[in-house]
Structure 1
Amino acid sequence: MEHTILSFVNIALEVYRYLIFGYVLLSWFPNARESFIGQLLGRIVEPYIGIFRRFIPPIGGVLDLSPIVALFALWFINIGLQSVLIYLFDLI
């Protein structure tokens, strides 16, 4: 049971990481974010990335580093959640 919770959290954060990658890749193609997939990914990913965009301005007005910082933060969140779950369920 506990390992199931641990792997669910890991898989959910991994899927979200891929959604962020997909959203960033869409920015490389003109009008791709206006497609159905682009809008769907935007609704899912933008609230999280928007937190970092408030504090990290684009470099030169073009290069947005907030998705990179968001991915690092998601990695740390994953490590923290895994540690808390291991501690709570005494999985060691």
Structure 2
Amino acid sequence: MIQFILLLFKVLNWAVSAYILLIVVYALLSWLPGGYQSKFGQIIGRLVEPFLRYFEFVSVGPLGFGPVVAIIVLTLVQYGLSALEQMIFGLIL
């Protein structure tokens, strides 16, 4: 049972890291002309845009800082998962 919980935390941590990477790639696509219209851009957009909509309010003029805030939030989620893992295994061991 302990092995399963440890594996679950590792998978969740990996999934959050992968999603952060997708957000970075999505943000970098804005630098390429037609990046969002490519098939690759459309796939990443379908995965990332629903989450980024929560952070559309963070902008200064034409510059949007939504992806930066989203990455900060996901990093805090990772720290929370790590703290929860340490609390659980601190109680068990």
RMSD after superposition: 1.7
Structure 2 SS opposite 1:48: helix
Higher relative contact order (CA 8 A, sep 6+): 1
Sequence identity, in percent? 34
CA distance in 2, matches of 1:70, 1:41: 15
Asked if 1:83 corresponds to 2:86, the answer is: no
Please, what TM-score do these two structures have when normalized by structure 1?
Answer: 0.85
Q: 1:50 aligns with which of 53, 58, 81?
A: 53
> Which structure has the larger Rg?
2
Gaps spanning 5+ residues in structure 1: where?
none
Higher strand fraction (1 or 2) = 2
Higher helix fraction (1 or 2) = 2
Structure 2 letter corresponding to 1:59: V
Gaps spanning 5+ residues in structure 2: where?
none
How far the C-alpha of 1:59 sits from its partner, in A, is 1.7
